[in-house]
Amino acid sequence: MTDTGLPASVEAIRRVREDPHRLGHRAHGPAEIIAGAGHGMTGPASKRIIVGYGFWIYLLSDIVVFSCFFAAFAVQRGATAGGPTIDQIVEVPRVAMQTAVLLLSSYTCMLSFAATNARSQLWTQIFLAATGILGLVFILLELQEFAELVQRGITPQRSGMLTSFFGLVGLHGLHVSVGLLWLATMMAQIVVKGFRREIVHRLICFNLFWHALDIVWIGIFTIVYLMGVGQ
């Protein structure tokens, strides 16, 4: 058991190992206070707990923002103002390639953290680099799609549907771009600082962020592209 785990979990495992009969039994007296967990006399929670809690709040708020963009697209889907409809601008082969690339990047991202748990800098960097390359391919495909649409005169100003389309897909692309910058920063920090506790915590946050983007893209792929073609 490394020191990167949750203090409360480590303490619980230690107690069970010392006295297996305590598993599943709650003491009748007052519960023992764990230092750094934000309970009573122990003072405020540790920085790790505060940062983790704050990051989850950020992820949830980001999901709310995406939900608003999804709702806007659902409302504006038919507002074409005589312009092209969604099924006229969708290229399924390219979108399918984008989806495959991003899902594969999620898999390599997961492998990178498995390598982090094994404390292998080499494989962590290899899988992070693979994640970054796949993410970059995704962004390039999306930029290519937007450039071709603009060349055809299909811009966000053309209709309400196109405004919501560019807004939703572009917002996701912006998040992926920021994620790539974060990934490059983490790779540099691993080289300089190694697997310090704060570095591992940042890698956990990055993994959560990247997987959340994959979930959002599945929603975009289904609602915007697949349902757009099938309407």
Mapping DSSP onto H, E and C, the string for the chain reads CCCCCCHHHHHHHHHHHHCHHHCCCCCCCCCCCCCCCCCHHHCCCCHHHHHHHHHHHHHHHHHHHHHHHHHHHHHHCCCCCCCCCHHHHCCHHHHHHHHHHHHHHHHHHHHHHHHHHCCCHHHHHHHHHHHHHHHHHHHHHHHHHHHHHHHCCCCHHHCHHHHHHHHHHHHHHHHHHHHHHHHHHHHHHHHHHCCCHHHHHHHHHHHHHHHHHHHHHHHHHHHHHHHHHHC
pLDDT at 221: 94
- The angle that helices 160-193 and 47-76 make with each other, rounded to 10 degrees, is 160
pLDDT per residue as tens digits for the range 61-95: 999 999 999 999 999 998 988 889 998 898 889 99
pLDDT per residue as tens digits for the range 43-55: 566 777 788 888 9
For the segment 57-64, the average pLDDT, to the nearest whole number, is: 94
pLDDT at 3: 46
| pTM across the whole model | 0.79
pLDDT at 27: 47
pLDDT per residue as tens digits for the range 128-143: 999 999 999 999 999 9
pLDDT at 87: 87
Residue with token string 């572009």: 170
- How high does pLDDT run on average in the chain? 85
In this prediction, residue 8 has a pLDDT band, given cuts at 50, 70 and 90, of low
Q: How far apart are CA 81 and CA 79, in angstroms?
A: 6
pLDDT at 199: 93
